[in-house]
């Protein structure tokens, strides 16, 4: 009788025994990222501004644990205390996926300080402070940690009518490289995924505009909107134990947009 063995390539992406903290995990990209990590064996801590029963159901259906942290990142927080609370509940954090983000659209001449502050707080300030708190935990416990930021095509381009979002996502790309430089000697990698035009709440206004949709589809070689599940292979690659020599990278997953 022969014994089936697991293919070597699947072991390269085995996250069994790992705990992944995913922000903005309630819907869209965050939910898909949490599911991808759970499918590879990771237990998930989902952080979101509201309860996330659908994400919880998807993760537990894969046989993994799910812990929910309801936290509005637009409000002030004691991030070291938040990280310590998550560590106490989950017994550690091995992978951090900084996915939470908001967008406010308005012409640059009319953009308000309120909208600027809200977007920068959620998309950049909270990303840094949470990463700092989690990285301190990883260093203190000797973890070969993984931090994965969600950047954007607007980490490379200017866009229109989204000044704060563009500034924040340029900042995410820069912070990814800065953190990679400083944390690599500690065995922690920091990378980013730059999604293209995806079917999420953030693109609802664009997808409701037939002319804008036509313009976008003409520019995307793949000829379609991206689906949240299109990010699964990228997040598993960056999270994998075997990817320890990959750090400081910003990877577009964009249907070829940046190549056009």
pLDDT at res. 1 = 44
Q: pLDDT of 9-64, one tens digit each?
A: 667 899 999 999 999 999 999 999 999 999 999 999 999 999 999 999 999 999 99
DSSP three-state, residue 20: strand
**Nearest by Cα to 36 from 15, 51, 6:** 15
Domain ranges of the chain: 15-259
Helix, strand, or coil (residue 175) = helix
The per-residue pLDDT for range 145-192, each reduced to its tens digit, is 999 999 999 999 999 999 999 999 999 999 999 999 999 999 999 999
pLDDT of res. 9 = 63
Average the pLDDT over 136-146 and give the result. 98
| Catalytic-role residue among 111, 165, 197, 245 | 165
- The verdict on whether 197 is a catalytic residue reads no
How far apart (Å, rounded) are the C-alpha atoms in residues 57 and 54?
5
With cut-offs at 50, 70 and 90, classify the pLDDT of residue 204.
Answer: confident
Confidence of residue 205 (pLDDT cuts 50, 70, 90): confident
- Is 67 exposed, middle or buried, given 0-12, 13-18 or 19+ CB atoms closer than 10 A? middle
CATH architecture of 15-259: 3-Layer(aba) Sandwich (3.40)
Name the β-bridge partners of 68.
46
In the predicted model, is pLDDT for residue 3 greater than 60? no
Global pTM value: 0.94
Q: Return mean pLDDT, the chain.
A: 95
């Amino acid at each position: 009788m022969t014994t089936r063995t697991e293919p070597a390539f699947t072991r390269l992406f085995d996250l069994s025994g790992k705990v992944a903290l995913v922000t903005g995990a309630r819907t869209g990209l965050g939910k898909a990222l949490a599911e991808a990590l759970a499918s590879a064996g990771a237990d998930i801590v989902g952080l979101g501004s509201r309860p996330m029963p659908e994400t919880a159901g998807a993760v537990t259906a894969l046989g993994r644990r799910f812990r929910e942290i309801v936290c509005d990142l637009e409000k002030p927080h004691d991030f070291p205390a938040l990280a310590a609370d998550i560590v106490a509940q989950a017994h550690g954090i091995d992978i951090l996926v900084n996915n939470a983000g908001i967008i406010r659209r308005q012409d640059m001449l009319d953009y308000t300080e309120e909208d600027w502050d809200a977007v920068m707080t959620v998309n950049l300030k909270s990303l840094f402070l949470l990463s700092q708190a989690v990285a301190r935990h990883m260093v203190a416990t000797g973890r070969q940690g993984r931090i994965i930021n969600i950047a954007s095509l607007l980490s490379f381009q200017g866009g229109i009518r989204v000044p704060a979002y563009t500034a924040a996502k340029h900042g995410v790309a820069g912070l990814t490289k800065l953190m990679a430089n400083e944390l690599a000697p500690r065995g922690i990698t920091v990378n980013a995924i730059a999604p293209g035009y995806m079917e999420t709440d953030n693109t609802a206004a664009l997808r409701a505009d037939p002319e804008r949709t036509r313009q976008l589809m003409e520019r995307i070689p793949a000829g379609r909107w991206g689906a949240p599940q299109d990010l699964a292979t990228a997040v598993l690659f960056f999270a994998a134990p075997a990817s320890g020599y990959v750090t400081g990278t910003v990877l577009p997953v964009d249907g070829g947009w940046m190549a056009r």
